A and B are shown apart, each in its own frame.
Chain A
Amino acid sequence: MALSAAAAVSARLAPNIEEAELIRAVQQGDQSAFETLVRSYDQSVLGLAMNLLRSPEDARDAYQEAFLRVYKNIHSFRFDCSFYTWLYRIVTNICLDHLRKRKIRKEEPAQVETSEGPIDRTYMIEEDRAAGDPERSLWNRQLGSRIFAALEELTPRERMVFELRHYQGMRLRAIGEILDTTEEAAKNCLFRATQKMRAGLGDFV
């Protein structure tokens, strides 16, 4: 999964003439071009927000805020970086704000509200190994709880770097560019995050 995500990222970082035309059309007020642009990226944006914020409602808010900011500020996009990087700067800033507010509130309820009613967070993980095996399922749920707790111990920035590297498969150089820092600083951040994760999981695995 990480490899395919990394390949997708590389493809998006490469110059893309069609995309540039699409962005220019949006800058000139073409509504359908905006919708096309949104549909090109919104699945990965929602996936990132969902995995980071671990709440469908927060992910939904982050999605909406991110693309409305894109819509409002696209005229200032000057093609001096890839659109993907520019978009991810917006999304990561919004998600970092969410994480920081959450740190202050110190709230992360075990259940989340969805349109289908309240559900346990750990049921929302992508789990395919445990199908039909109750013991394995229980073990997975316990591991999930431990991982959530370990993730909670990371600072918002560590959480972000960990997410972008581990789940989005991005290289540290690209992460540095998105988070407006150096590759070395992103590497140090990832190092701290993995150390904390390892300590948090203890001898569970």
Chain B
Amino acid sequence: MTCESVSELADLYLYGELAGQEEDGIEQHLHGCAACRTAFDRQRAVHRSLDAMRMAPPPNLLAECRQDLFRAKQIRNPKSEIRNLFFEWWRPLALSARPIGALALVALGFFSSRLTLRDANLTANLASIAGEPISSTIRSVQPDASGHVQIALDETRRRLVTGSLNDGNIERLMLAAAKDAGNDGLRVESIEILKGHATSADVRDALLTALRNDPNPGVRFKALEGLKGIASQPEVRKTLTFVLQNDQNPGVRIQAIDLLTQRQDTALVGTLQQLVSKESNSYVRQRCERALEEMNASVGTF
């Protein structure tokens, strides 16, 4: 083997990527050639220096990457997001439904036992309300002298009201339902129905209030959907900006930035610049940066 070929193959030799014959050839040549041995030692030193120049990720980067990934995956998997949201608001609903279920069983037992009396008047009386669900609360129980039991019940009768959202009374009931603090499921359903009528000032205000204040992210998502068509209105943009800066849920913030950056708005520059440095979600940060670039604004604050 010549000095020239040893020099050429020295790196592959150091990586162990040469065939056995070539390795033997190099080793034999180095054994007998002092100049090549010196050059080879130098080359080995270069390799060692390169090893030392390995670049390590900063501390916490892996944890941050994992956090971003699992968040982004949820956003890209609407099925799982919807399922999570469903469970999020279903949990309190399910808990609050337990006493109602228990009461329903009591009521069922109560009416069944009375029906077995075969009292004609009573049967007629019950038949008249058979189509209307009743929830009952037992207030007191008391034995009487004849050996019977006297039970005091409070009964609430459910009433069904049907009508169009264009009917002012129906809209008022829906707006009240959208604010029912004790029932997350009812609020989600109400906002879902109302979101198609955001052109009404009262509905729009209800959507804005829900987006800004509702503790349930499922309700806030529905409100955001309802506001999509009117995202250019100043009042809506004001609330979207508030949400972008303050909402704890990254999914809500992502939707807010998407709506806000649908069109160029120089009034947003300051907010976007602040978010570039403080926002924890990488998608939101990138959207902020892109929007700033599109407006020829600087990405950072000085």
Q: Which of A101-139 contact B (CB under 8 A)?
A: 114-116, 121, 124-129
Q: What residues of chain A lie closer than 8 Å to B50, measured between beta carbons?
A: 147, 166, 197
**Assuming the A-B contacts A64-B65, A67-B69, A191-B11, are A46 and B57 also in contact, with contact meaning beta carbons closer than 8 angstroms in the complex?**
yes
Is A24 an interface position by the 8 A CB rule? no
| Contact between B17 and A115, CB atoms less than 8 A apart | no
- Bound-state Cα–Cα, A128 to B48, Å: 13
| Contact between B68 and A60, CB atoms less than 8 A apart | yes
Which of the residues A39, A115, A124 comes within 8 Å of B55, measured between beta carbons? Answer: A124
- What's the interface size class on B, roughly? 20 to 34
Q: Which of A125-182 contact B (CB under 8 A)?
A: 125-129, 140, 143-144, 147, 165-167, 171-172
| Contact between B42 and A205, CB atoms less than 8 A apart | yes
Q: What residues of chain B lie closer than 8 Å to A190, measured between beta carbons?
A: 11-12, 15, 17
Is B66 an interface position by the 8 A CB rule? yes
Smallest beta-carbon distance B183→chain A, Å: 29
- Bound-state Cα–Cα, A67 to B65, Å: 10
Q: Which of B22-58 contact A (CB under 8 A)?
A: 42-43, 45-47, 49-58
A-B contact count (CB 8 A): 114
Which of the residues B60, B69, B80 comes within 8 Å of A31, measured between beta carbons? Answer: B80
Of B70-78, B137-145, B213-221, the one touching chain A: B70-78
Is A59 an interface position by the 8 A CB rule? yes
Is A201 an interface position by the 8 A CB rule? yes
Is B274 an interface position by the 8 A CB rule? no
Is B124 an interface position by the 8 A CB rule? no
Q: What residues of chain A lie closer than 8 Å to B45, measured between beta carbons?
A: 205
Smallest beta-carbon distance A195→chain B, Å: 8
- Bound-state Cα–Cα, A172 to B12, Å: 10
Is B282 an interface position by the 8 A CB rule? yes
- Bound-state Cα–Cα, A52 to B14, Å: 21
Interface of A is mostly: helix
Is A98 an interface position by the 8 A CB rule? no
User: Considering only CB atoms, which chain A residue lies closest to B300 in the complex?
Assistant: A113
| Contact between A140 and B65, CB atoms less than 8 A apart | no
Smallest beta-carbon distance B230→chain A, Å: 32
Q: What residues of chain A lie closer than 8 Å to B58, measured between beta carbons?
A: 56, 114-116, 124
Q: What residues of chain A lie closer than 8 Å to B72, measured between beta carbons?
A: 64, 68
| Contact between A205 and B52, CB atoms less than 8 A apart | no
**Assuming the A-B contacts A126-B56, A187-B17, A190-B17, are A60 and B65 also in contact, with contact meaning beta carbons closer than 8 angstroms in the complex?**
yes
- Bound-state Cα–Cα, A167 to B47, Å: 11
Interface residues as binary, A43-61 with B (CB distance below 8 Å gives 1, 0 otherwise): 1001100110010100111
Is A42 an interface position by the 8 A CB rule? yes
Is A71 an interface position by the 8 A CB rule? yes
Q: What residues of chain A lie closer than 8 Å to B62, measured between beta carbons?
A: 42-43, 46
| Contact between B56 and A68, CB atoms less than 8 A apart | no
- Bound-state Cα–Cα, A144 to B53, Å: 6
Q: What residues of chain B lie closer than 8 Å to A172, measured between beta carbons?
A: 17
**Assuming the A-B contacts A1-B51, A46-B65, A205-B46, are A59 and B57 also in contact, with contact meaning beta carbons closer than 8 angstroms in the complex?**
yes
User: Considering only CB atoms, which chain A residue lies closest to B70 in the complex?
Assistant: A35
Q: What residues of chain B lie closer than 8 Å to A27, measured between beta carbons?
A: none
Is B64 an interface position by the 8 A CB rule? yes
Listed by A's residue number, 14 A-B pairs whose Cβ atoms lie within 8 Å are A42-B66, A46-B61, A46-B62, A47-B57, A50-B56, A50-B61, A54-B55, A60-B282, A64-B65, A115-B60, A116-B58, A124-B55, A124-B56, A195-B8
Going nearest first, the 9 A-B pairs with the smallest beta carbon separation are A194-B11, A50-B57, A63-B65, A126-B56, A126-B54, A205-B46, A51-B55, A147-B53, A125-B53
